[in-house]
């Protein structure tokens, strides 16, 4: 390159400083002027400066406090979500435990019921009958003959697997064309010896005076079908499991067969069970 050309280029660089350097110098001068102005303002207004610095510090701490509060709120919200999730899980666990407990209770109840049903006593009243034969011949076909108060037997049989304690016996009779819809038991309806034990497979036939007097007219109406002669009532007994059972019965006298036949009536034939009162 020609020496003259190199000299010309150096002269240009010398006359025009670098733009970056110029900007840096301008910024430095601006900072210096600003610092001088600020120092002068602080010197003339010290109280205002302290207030401004305090406000700036307060604003700074307020911002920091706001950020901390936001973070705390977010953490609290997250804890609340976790607590709700744990509560839901606990509810599910409690529900599952309750379901298991209910299932176990049902199983225990079923086992107890099966044991009770299979082992409890079952007392039946089987074919009541008059101790002495009653027929038209008893009255010599005389409707005006004096009445007869026959003795009737009610055979009791225990077909269960445990003993039964007989605590109440009701022996009623009725001479009507048909049975009332609801049984009518007398107030004084406990007869005979009570409190005796009817063992497994045992039979016993307590005797009672028939509550309806038998006359020639009664036998004649029974023979013609104008009226019917019924023997009904119930037996109440207690078992070893703490329950009281009541079995109702109803029989109708058949003159031709000279015996009582079962009378199918739901209100009179029933079997109920209840918890025995505490002793």
Instruction: Give the SS3 label for residue 241.
Output: coil
- How far separated are the first and last CA of the chain, in Å rounded? 135
In whole angstroms, give the CA distance from residue 145 to residue 40.
Answer: 150
| Structural domain includes residue 226 | yes
- Which residues on neighbouring strands pair with residue 260, listed in sequence order? 253
Report which secondary-structure segment, H or E, holds 117. helix 46-119
| Structural domain includes residue 104 | no
Enter the DSSP assignment of 133. -
| Structural domain includes residue 66 | no
Enter the DSSP assignment of 160. S
| Structural domain includes residue 88 | no
Q: Residue 183 belongs to a domain with what CATH number?
A: 2.60.40
In whole angstroms, give the CA distance from residue 120 to residue 241.
Answer: 8
| Structural domain includes residue 116 | no
| Structural domain includes residue 224 | yes
pTM value is: 0.59
Query: Would you tell me how many other CB atoms lie within 10 Å of the CB of residue 10?
Result: 10
- DSSP string covering 51-104: HHHHHHHHHHHHHHHHHHHHHHHHHHHHHHHHHHHHHHHHHHHHHHHHHHHHHH
Query: Would you tell me how many other CB atoms lie within 10 Å of the CB of residue 53?
Result: 11
Residues in the chain: 279
CA separation (Å) from 223 to 130, 172, 216, 254, 255? 17, 21, 10, 9, 6
In 97-188, DSSP assigns E strands to: 123-125, 129-130, 151-153, 156-158, 164-176
| Structural domain includes residue 11 | no
Question: Per-residue pLDDT for the chain (279 aa), expressed as one digit of tens each?
Answer: 554 544 444 444 455 456 777 777 777 777 777 777 767 777 877 777 777 777 778 888 788 888 878 888 887 878 888 888 888 888 888 888 888 788 777 777 766 666 667 789 999 999 999 988 877 676 665 667 788 899 999 999 999 999 999 998 999 999 999 999 999 887 655 555 577 899 999 999 988 888 889 888 888 888 888 999 999 999 999 999 999 999 999 999 998 888 999 999 999 999 999 998 886
Look at the chain and report how many structural domains it folds into: 1
| Structural domain includes residue 41 | no
- Domain that includes residue 187, residue range: 123-275
């Amino acid at each position: 390159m020609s020496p003259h050309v190199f000299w010309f280029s150096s002269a240009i660089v010398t006359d025009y400083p670098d733009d970056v350097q110029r900007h840096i110098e301008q910024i430095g001068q601006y900072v210096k002027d600003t610092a001088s102005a600020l120092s002068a303002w602080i010197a003339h207004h010290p109280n205002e400066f302290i207030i401004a610095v305090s406000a700036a510090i307060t604003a700074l701490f307020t911002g920091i406090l706001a950020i901390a509060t936001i973070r705390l709120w977010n953490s609290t919200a997250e804890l609340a979500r976790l607590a709700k999730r744990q509560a839901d899980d606990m509810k599910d666990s409690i529900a599952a435990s309750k379901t298991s407990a209910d299932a176990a209770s049902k199983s225990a109840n079923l086992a107890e019921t099966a044991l009770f049903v299979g082992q409890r006593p079952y007392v039946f009243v089987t074919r009541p009958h008059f101790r002495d034969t009653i027929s038209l011949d008893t009255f010599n076909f005389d409707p005006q003959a004096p009445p007869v108060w026959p003795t009737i037997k009610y055979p009791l049989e225990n077909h269960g697997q445990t003993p039964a304690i007989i605590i109440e016996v009701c022996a009623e009779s009725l001479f009507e064309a048909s049975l009332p819809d609801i049984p009518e038991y007398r107030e004084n309806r406990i007869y005979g010896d009570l409190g005796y034990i009817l063992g497994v497979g045992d039979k016993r036939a307590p005797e009672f005076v028939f509550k309806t007097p038998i006359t020639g007219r009664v036998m004649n109406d029974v023979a013609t079908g104008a009226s019917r002669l019924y023997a009904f009532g119930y037996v109440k007994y207690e078992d070893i499991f703490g329950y009281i059972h009541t079995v109702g019965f109803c029989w109708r006298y058949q003159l031709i067969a000279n015996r009582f036949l079962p009378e199918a009536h739901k209100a009179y034939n029933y079997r109920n069970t209840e918890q025995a009162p505490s002793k």
